[in-house]
Amino acid sequence: MTHPTDRVRRHGRRSRPARRGSPTPAGAASRRGVTVLRLLLVALFTAGLATLIPGTAIAQGESVSGTLRTSLSGPIEGVEVVVTTPDGDEVGTDETDENGRFTIEVPGPGEYTVTVPEDALPEGVEFNAGNSRTVTVDPGRNQGVIIGLDDGSRGSGGGTVRWVQLFVDGLRFGLLIAMAAVGLSLIFGTTGLTNFAHGELVTIGAIVAWFINVDGGVPLIPAALLAMVIGALIGAANERLLWRPLRRRGTGLVAALVISIGLSLLLRYGYQIFFGGSSEAYADFRGQRAVDYGPFNLTDKDLYSIIIALVVLLLVALMLQRTAIGKAMRAVADNRDLAASSGIDVNRVILVVWMMGGALAALGGVLLGLSDEVQWDMGFRLLLLMFAGVTLGGLGTAYGALVGSIVVGVFVQMSTLVIPNDVKYVGGLLLLIVILMVRPQGILGSRVRVG
C-alpha cells in the first residue's frame, strides 16, 4: 500500500486550503459586484431623494428677476418693470410684489434690457446709476438684475460709510463660507479627498429647508434644524456607501477626485431638474428693513446669521479642543496611521467628520439662501471660495479654514471699492495666489519637507 506521503512526494506539494480572507476569483468578482451595486444604490438614493421632494418636473426656462428695495423705505411694491430686446422690442412686464420682487420670463437666451420707469419710484428714492440694466441670460437660467437705488441715507450723518458697510457684509459672507469650509477641510485632513461635491451639500440644505418651510408650512428655524439632520444623513451615506468602499479598494486620490466631480455634476443637475432654475425665497423673514447702526446698516436676518455662524463655529472649536471625538479628529488629520496604531477607530472618526461636514454645509446653505435666495447651483458658485479659504488658511486644519474663509469673504466684498461687483470673486482667487507665493503652507499650515 502506498503511504500518503509518498503520493505527496510523487505528485508535488499537498495543496493547502486557502487562507481565511484571501481573495479568490469568485470572491473578487463578488466584491466587484457589491461595489458596483453600492455605486448604483448611491445614484438611486440621490434620485429617490429628489423625487420625494415636490418640484417641477423639468427645468424652467429663461427669465430675469430682481428686487426693488432700500434701507429706509423697505420693499417697493407696485412698480412696473419692463424687459426689452436690444432693438427695443418689448418682451414682457411685471409689477413688483409686496416684497419688491419681480420675475419676467424671456423667450430664450440672449441679451436683454431691464428698465424701471423714472417716475415710478416713491418720493425720496432715486436711481444710483440710471433706471435700466442690460443683462445676458444663459440657457436655462434665471438671471438676477441689480438696480441700485438711493434713499438719501448714504453720505448723511447717520448713514453708512461704504468701506465699513462692505467690511461687515464681508464678515457675514466669510462666516457663511467658513460654515461649509470647516467640513471640507476636515474631510481633506482625515481622508486626503478633495471633494468637489461638497458644494452640493450646501445646496441640498437650502433646498430641503425651502420645501419644508414653503410647501410644508414649517417655520424656518425648525426647517433649518431638519435640513441639518438630513445633511448629516447624506454625509453619512456618502461615506458608508461610496467613499469607504473605494478606500478599501485602494482607489487613488486622483481617481477619487474625478469621482467627486462626477457626483457633483449628477447632484447639481438633479437639483435643476426637480427644483427648477429660478431663485426662490423662504416664507419667513422677507422684506425686512435694514437697521441703522451708525456707519453701517444691517437687517435683522443678516445680524442673526452672523450670530448663529459665530456660535456654531465656536461650538465646533470647543468640540475639537475639549471632547474625545474632537481630539480624535485632530489626531487622524495630523497622522492617520499613527492614530490607528494608538487605538483610534479611524473609520468611525471619518464617519463623524462626514456627518458634521454635511450638517454644517446644510446650515451654511440655509443662511446663504436667507440672504441671497435659494438657487439650484448656489453651492457650486460658493465652492471655489471654499477651496480658496481652505487653502489660504492651511490644508486640513479646521482653524485654518475658519481664518482663511473670513479673510476671503472680507476681501471679496471690499474689493468692490476698486473693481466692478460682477467680478468680485476674482479678487479672492488673486489673494489666494499672492498669499501662497509668500507662504505656500497657508496662514495656519505647517511647513512640510518634500523629497
| Residue from 84, 68, 91 nearest 149 by CA | 68
Rounded to 5 degrees, what angle do the CA atoms 95, 100, 102 make? 45
| Same-domain status, 197 and 272 | yes
Alpha helices in 335-423 (DSSP H): 336-341, 346-372, 378-393, 398-414
Residues 177-236 have pLDDT tens digits of 999 999 999 999 899 999 999 999 999 999 999 999 988 889 999 999 999 999 999 999
CATH of the domain at 397: 1.10.3470
Residues near 389 by beta carbon (within 8 Å), at least 6 away in sequence: 174, 177, 178, 181, 401, 404, 405, 406, 407, 408, 409
From residue 318, alpha-carbon distances to 130, 314, 403, 406, 446 in Å are 50, 6, 16, 19, 22
Residues 291-334 have pLDDT tens digits of 888 888 888 899 999 999 999 999 999 999 999 999 999 999 88
Q: What's the pLDDT at 210?
A: 94
- How remote is the C-alpha of 22 from its chain's centroid? 42
| Same-domain status, 167 and 146 | no
Residue 10 in domain: no
The total domain count for the chain is 2
Q: What's the pLDDT at 450?
A: 38
CATH of the domain at 118: 2.60.40.10
Q: What's the pLDDT at 73?
A: 63
- Half-sphere exposure (Cβ direction) of 367: Cα atoms closer than 13 Å: 28
Q: Which residues of the chain have pLDDT under 70?
A: 1-60, 71-73, 129, 151-160, 287, 445-451
User: Residue 408's beta-bridge partner residues?
Assistant: none
Q: What range defines the domain where residue 132 resides?
A: 63-150
Q: What's the pLDDT at 152?
A: 59
Which of 150, 174, 205 corresponds to the end of one domain? 150
Q: What's the pLDDT at 446?
A: 59
Residue 297 in domain: yes
- How remote is the C-alpha of 96 from its chain's centroid? 29
| Same-domain status, 296 and 382 | yes
Grid cell in block for residue 370: 436667507
Residue 40 in domain: no
Residue 320 in domain: yes
Grid look-up 419681480 returns 102
